[in-house]
């Protein structure tokens, strides 16, 4: 299998890496790169998060009295997916449980990923299927990192992130240890939008657990606009690493452990319990518009 798989239309092209089924490049018709191109400060582009989102206390998932070590964001982002279908504008990949995953996560599953381009829209579809005899507990999320500033925009401060609905919060922060700080904050909105600047992230990633919107728009004068939407996910994380030129817009179904709250994986807030034989679908999409 090639190191990357290319798909595209005349208006948009993407490259996908089979390891983690990860989007690593998204370029518009003018050849402008819209994705963070990794680097020493953060060596990823758009990892998929499964079967956890964020960090567990002491990196341990408790299934009853049995502990399993699982590091931040789970294992799917680091495993090779199998190519199951491809055409000029789409690709399908899949990951199933194995002896390797059973040592981390003792459940049977199938995780299918479809990446597709329709005109100027890029779509990622995740399908989780429970192939085992009992309930499947999991969380899942997307972690795409877009260029910030966007090409042609100039400064980071020129950007605004507008929500579909007014977000009343509360807003939570991710602590340095990876746990969610249980003390809520107000959402720094001006109307339905946030004027972006690095200082907003000095206290860690921003997390909305009770989210009204299912779309946001990232825009700045002179840059392509990014209309970002999702289905199936109920939470949203926003993150950047100070000094780095990216902004992560992360729809989640699940979240990190909350500081001071002890629970096992079965009863963890935000997790999904999928019955045997059932499947659940999650979608995120970004549509690239012409510069204003």
**pLDDT tens figures, 66-90:** 999 999 999 999 999 999 999 999 9
Nearest to 192 by CA among 214, 161, 221: 161
Instruction: Give the rounded percent of residues in the chain with a pLDDT score beyond 70.
Output: 99
180 within 8 A of 187, measured Cβ to Cβ: no
Mean pLDDT of the region 250-266: 94
Peptide bond into 149 cis (omega under 30): yes
pLDDT(2) > 80: no
Instruction: Give the rounded percent of residues in the chain with a pLDDT score beyond 90.
Output: 92
- In which band, very low, low, confident or very high, does the pLDDT at 151 lie, cut at 50, 70 and 90? very high
Q: What is the pLDDT of residues 28-51, one digit of tens each?
A: 999 999 999 998 899 999 999 999
Give the helix/strand (H/E) hosting 215: strand 215-219
Fold (topology level) of 5-289: Beta-galactosidase; Chain A, domain 5 (2.70.98)
Q: pTM value?
A: 0.96
Q: Is 266 strand, coil or helix?
A: helix
Q: Rounded to an integer, what distance in angstroms lies between the CA atom of residue 112 and that of residue 128?
A: 7
- In which band, very low, low, confident or very high, does the pLDDT at 194 lie, cut at 50, 70 and 90? very high
Nearest to 227 by CA among 218, 235, 236, 240: 218
Q: According to the model, what pLDDT value does residue 21 have? A: 98
Nearest to 240 by CA among 207, 198, 203, 208: 198
Burial 106-123 (b: 16+ CB within 10 A, else e): ebbbebbbbbbbeebbbb
pLDDT(273) > 80: yes
Q: Rounded to an integer, what distance in angstroms lies between the CA atom of residue 215 and that of residue 212?
A: 9
Q: Rounded to an integer, what distance in angstroms lies between the CA atom of residue 166 and that of residue 190?
A: 10
Q: Is 129 strand, coil or helix?
A: strand
- In which band, very low, low, confident or very high, does the pLDDT at 242 lie, cut at 50, 70 and 90? confident
pLDDT(281) > 80: yes
The residue extents of the domains of the chain are 5-289
Q: According to the model, what pLDDT value does residue 1 have? A: 59
pLDDT(292) > 80: no
Q: Which residues contact 267 (CB under 8 A, 6 or more apart)?
A: none
- In this structure, the number of other CB atoms found within 10 A of the CB of residue 246 comes to 22
Least confident of 43-52, 191-200, 250-259, 280-289: 191-200
Q: According to the model, what pLDDT value does residue 50 have? A: 98
Q: According to the model, what pLDDT value does residue 154 have? A: 85
Q: What is the pLDDT of residues 94-121, one digit of tens each?
A: 999 999 999 999 999 999 999 999 999 9
Q: What is the pLDDT of residues 153-177, one digit of tens each?
A: 989 999 999 999 999 889 999 999 9
Task: Tell me the pLDDT of the chain averaged across its residues.
Answer: 95
């Amino acid at each position: 299998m090639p190191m990357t798989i290319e798909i595209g239309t005349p208006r948009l092209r993407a490259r996908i890496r089979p390891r983690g089924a990860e989007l690593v490049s998204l370029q518009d018709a003018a050849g402008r790169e819209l994705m963070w191109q990794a680097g020493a400060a953060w060596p990823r582009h758009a990892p998929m998060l499964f079967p956890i989102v964020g960090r567990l206390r002491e990196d341990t998932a408790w299934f009853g009295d049995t502990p399993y070590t699982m590091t931040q964001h789970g294992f799917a982002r680091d495993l090779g997916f199998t190519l199951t279908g491809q055409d000029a504008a789409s690709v399908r990949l899949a990951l199933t449980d194995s002896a390797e995953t059973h040592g981390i996560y003792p459940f049977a599953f199938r995780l299918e990923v479809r990446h597709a381009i329709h005109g100027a829209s890029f779509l990622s579809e995740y399908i989780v299927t429970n192939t085992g005899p009992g309930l499947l507990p999991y969380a899942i999320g997307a972690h795409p990192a877009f260029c910030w500033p966007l090409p042609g925009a100039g400064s980071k401060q020129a950007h605004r992130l507008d929500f579909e609905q007014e977000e009343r919060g509360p807003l939570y922060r991710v602590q340095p240890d990876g746990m969610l700080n249980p003390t809520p904050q107000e959402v720094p909105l001006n109307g339905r939008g946030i004027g972006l600047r690095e200082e907003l992230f000095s206290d860690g990633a921003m997390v909305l657990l009770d989210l009204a919107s299912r779309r946001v728009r990232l825009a700045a004068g002179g840059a392509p606009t990014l209309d970002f939407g999702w289905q199936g996910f109920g939470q949203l994380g926003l993150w950047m690493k100070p000094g780095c030129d990216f902004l992560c817009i992360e729809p989640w179904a699940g979240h990190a452990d909350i500081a001071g709250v002890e629970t096992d994986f079965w009863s963890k807030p935000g997790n999904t319990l999928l019955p045997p034989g059932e499947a659940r679908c999650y979608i995120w999409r970004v549509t690239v518009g012409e510069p204003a």
